[in-house]
Amino acid sequence: MTAATARAHPNIALVKYWGKRDRALNLPAVPSLSLTLDRFRTRTTVVWGVEADSVELDGALAPAPAAARVLAFLELVDPRRPPCRVISESNFPVAAGLASSSSAFAALALAASAAAGHDTEPTALSLLARRGSGSACRSLWGGFVEWPLGERSDGADCHARPLAPPDHWDVAMVVAIASGAPKPVGSRDAMEHARRTSPYYATWVQTAADDFAGARAAVLARDLQHLGEVMEASTHKMHATLHTARPPVLYQVPATIACLHEVRALRQRGTGAWATMDAGPNVKVLCHRSDAAEVAAGLSPHVAHIEVLRPGGDPALEPR
Ligand code: PMV
């Protein structure tokens, strides 16, 4: 029996991953770019070689579908694996569009690979984590991370890579939690539904490479206005594929819309703030760190809870 415990931070996509060119391998239809956050984290222990498989999430036995997904992932680490025990806990609301699957599968990839005695080099882990959840391949590094498309049909070159470290730029992500309730449709099903039924999906795919290139250049140049504009375009285009799907998928609640208007009002008052949303109702606002308190104060009348986060670091194994 061997065991390892890993911690990983979630990342928020500034340019979204949305849609797959290969569902079995989790190969994206579009390139994406993200920021890894500090403070929020998933901590996962894998015990390799026990009597029987078990999966515990946030202090309780995992529901059957979640347990099956975790155990199927362990098969990717080693198809001849022994029974394993997995214990995972996140310090933020899961399944609410806060990218919990990104930190979950990054931490699981690192803990399981270490427990199995395999390679824990980040690119190998990024390839592995991608199979659990696409966005997880970007949580293998801190700071700004890019996930280019890759070219190979087997996905062997489809991994993320670091673009700029956490201290590259003094920005903050102000997260306005409009609702902590589990989302009605998960991102995996929603992106496939949009691909199959939205007439806007093709345009989403066609315009994604320009957004990626623009955001990449803006991160390297530390140009917040340009990055913010591209980021907002990416999130609204992604949600447009959902609003035009049949039946439509609407993640926004009234507080979401109030936050989007507030971000616009902050800009009109001269504060550089731009919003992004994932597969959930929460709004994440990118700004300079020096403006974060003002942004949080503007958003706070609209939501019950606000978190101010900064660029976070790499995942890590806990010393034994
Ligand atoms: O990693 P998944 O399959 O949960 O998909 C994530 C999709 C978004 O969070 C909406 C966008 C992204 O790039 O993280």
Residue 183 pLDDT > 90, yes or no?
no
Centroid of ligand 1 to alpha carbon of 278 (angstroms): 7
pLDDT value of position 162? 98
Distance 241 CA to ligand 1 centre (A): 14
Which residue among 140, 278, 282, 284 is best mutated to probe the pocket of ligand 1, counting the most ligand atoms within 8 A of its Cβ? Answer: 278
Q: Phi, psi (5° rounding) for residue 53?
A: -60, 140
Of 140, 121, 118, 137, nearest to 48 (Cα)?
A: 118
Q: Is the pLDDT of residue 184 over 90?
A: no
Q: CB of 295 within 8 A of CB of 285?
A: yes
Task: Using the atom order of ligand 1, give the atom closest to the CA of residue 135.
Answer: 1
**What whole-number distance in Å separates Cα of residue 186 and Cα of residue 183?**
7
> How far apart are the CA of 162 and the centre of ligand 1, in A?
18
Task: Evaluate if residue 9 carries a pLDDT over 90.
Answer: yes
Angle between helical axes of 201-221 and 187-197 (0-180°, round to 10): 120
Domain ranges within the chain, ordered by starting residue? 2-166, 171-309
Per CATH, which fold does 171-309 belong to?
Alpha-Beta Plaits (3.30.70)
- Taking only the tens place, the pLDDT of each residue in 158-181 is 999 999 999 999 999 999 999 877
**Would you state the pLDDT for residue 38?**
97
pLDDT confidence of residue 227? 98
Return the minimum-mean-pLDDT range out of 129-138, 178-187, 241-250, 299-308: 178-187
CA distance 31 to 18: 9
pLDDT at 312: 98
Which fold is adopted by the domain 2-166? Ribosomal Protein S5; domain 2 (3.30.230)
pLDDT tens digits for range 45-84: 999 999 999 999 999 999 999 999 999 999 999 999 999 9
What is the atom index within ligand 1 of the atom nearest the CA of 134?
Answer: 1
Q: Which amino acid is at 304?
A: A
Q: How far is the CA of 1 from the centre of ligand 1 (A)?
A: 34
The finding on whether 73 has its CB within 6 A of some atom of ligand 1 is no
Residue type at 145?
Answer: V
- Give me the pLDDT at residue 86, please: 98
pLDDT in tens, 79-95: 999 999 999 999 986 65
pLDDT, tens only, 244-290: 999 999 999 999 999 999 999 999 999 999 999 999 999 999 999 99
Q: Which residue has the CA at smallest separation from atom 6 of ligand 1?
A: 135
In SS3 terms, the chain reads as: CEEEEEEECCEEEEECCCCEEECCCCEECCCEEEEEECCCCEEEEEEECCCCCEEEECCEECCHHHHHHHHHHHHHHCCCCCCEEEEEEECCCCCCCCCHHHHHHHHHHHHHHHHCCCCCCHHHHHHHHHHHCHHHHHHHCCCEEEECCCCCCCCCCCCCEEEECHHHCCEEEEEEECCCCCCCCCHHHHHHHHHHHCCCHHHHHHHHHHHHHHHHHHHHHCCHHHHHHHHHHHHHHHHHHHHCCCCCCCCCCHHHHHHHHHHHHHHHCCCCEEEECCCCCCEEEEEEHHHHHHHHHHHHHHCCEEEEECECCCCEECCC
Cα 157 to middle of ligand 1, angstroms: 19
Ligand 1 neighbourhood includes 188 CB (under 6 angstroms): yes
> From the CB of 133, is ligand 1 less than 6 Å away?
yes
Residue 317 buriedness (CB in 10 A; 0-12 / 13-18 / 19+): middle
Task: Give Cα separations from 275 to 24, 148, 217, 226, 252 (angstroms).
Answer: 31, 23, 19, 13, 13
Single out the residue of 88, 94, 81, 93 nearest to residue 2, CA to CA: 81
